[in-house]
Amino acid sequence: MSGKTDALLSTLRLQPVVPVIVIDDAKSAVPLARALVAGGLKAIEITLRTPAALDAIKAVADEVEGAVAGAGTVLDAKQWDLAVKAGSKFIVSPGAGPAVLDAADQSDIPLLPGTATATEIMTVRDRGYSVIKFFPAEQAGGAPYLNALSSPLNGILFCPTGGISLKNARDYLSLPNVVCVGGSWVAPKAMVEAGDWAGITRLAAEASGLRS
């Protein structure tokens, strides 16, 4: 597990914000990813919420220099296998069900498992995880909740996702147990549909400077 943890941390530490992207049209994946990379956001989570997601991951993995494509909203072993075959370098799940954890055990690709409670965090900790997604962050207690966990669950690092924006990202990033945050605000649907890649690069650059 230590090797996969190191690989995951090296990806998450590329930037303070990991874009969480929903792709409706696979043709937009490459220019979108290039815009994000140009703004300093290299690790990109493409969620498996649309039929275009797997094609989008493959396109980004194959064609976008500097991008580290990951798959989000992975719920089971079948989705895991499809995401890895498409070129995903990391996998993100909203929760930590046994099907996903078992698939991760059989794979060289690192998993960022989702948790929302101390019990869930302890459960994945017992499976060898020390880098964990906190989701849905704002609805589950926000930065104050994560801060409260920093002492009793010392040694666990989090990537909070859900309800995070430019306005509250620093609240999370200032915590000692937060390695990065996940956010969708860097690629708004309207800007993607309009092909406003320069605008998305500006948002990405703003996000990448949150820890500077």
| Cα–Cα separations (whole angstroms), residue 32 to 54, 60, 164, 190 | 15, 9, 20, 12
Cβ atoms of 36 and 201 within 8 Å: the answer is yes
Euclidean distance between CA atoms 14 and 43, whole angstroms: 7
Per the residue annotation, which of 45, 63, 65, 85 is the catalytic one?
A: 45
| Residue 63 annotated among the catalytic residues of the structure | no
Length of the chain, in residues: 212
- Cβ burial of 212 (10 Å; 0-12, 13-18, 19+) is exposed
Residue 34: how many CA atoms within 13 Å on its side-chain side? Answer: 14
Peptide bond into 110 cis (omega under 30): no
Cβ atoms of 60 and 67 within 8 Å: the answer is yes
- Cβ burial of 29 (10 Å; 0-12, 13-18, 19+) is buried
Per the residue annotation, which of 4, 42, 58, 133 is the catalytic one?
A: 133
Active site residues: 45, 133
